[in-house]
Amino acid sequence: MHTTQDPFQKANYFFRKADYVKWHRQQSKQQILRSQVGFIETAPSRPKACQGCAHYHGVAYGTAYESRHMLICGFHPYGWGNQGTCPDWEGGF
């Protein structure tokens, strides 16, 4: 049985791969600049209420840099907005 791969699936894979390579290259350049200036430690990007939570996702979605949206978790897509601990926090890390 011969299976054919959807051409759109293959194209999407290559776009995602190219986007990741571009992101990784930018992160490497920023790390080099930080180390040259003396800033070796980077601030964590994870919101304070989400640190150590098993539900944390933390992946940005979108194709253009200006229109990317960070998905924090399934319960609170933009992060826990209130002060204090998140009521859905579950340890896992």
- Domain borders along the chain are 7-43, 44-93
**pLDDT tens digits for 42-87?**
566 677 778 888 888 878 787 776 777 778 888 888 888 777 788 8
Token readout for 63 is: 């194709």
Token readout for 5 is: 């791969």
pLDDT at position 57 = 81
pLDDT at position 3 = 54
Q: What contacts 24+ positions apart, CB below 8 Å, involve 75-82? A: 79/47, 79/49, 79/50, 80/47, 80/49, 80/50
pLDDT at position 42 = 58
Residue of 45, 57, 42, 55 lying closest to 85 (CA atoms)? 55
- SS3 of 10, please? helix
Cβ atoms within 10 Å, residue 54: 10
Token readout for 31 is: 């790390």
**pLDDT tens digits for 7-45?**
888 888 888 899 989 988 998 888 888 788 776 665 666
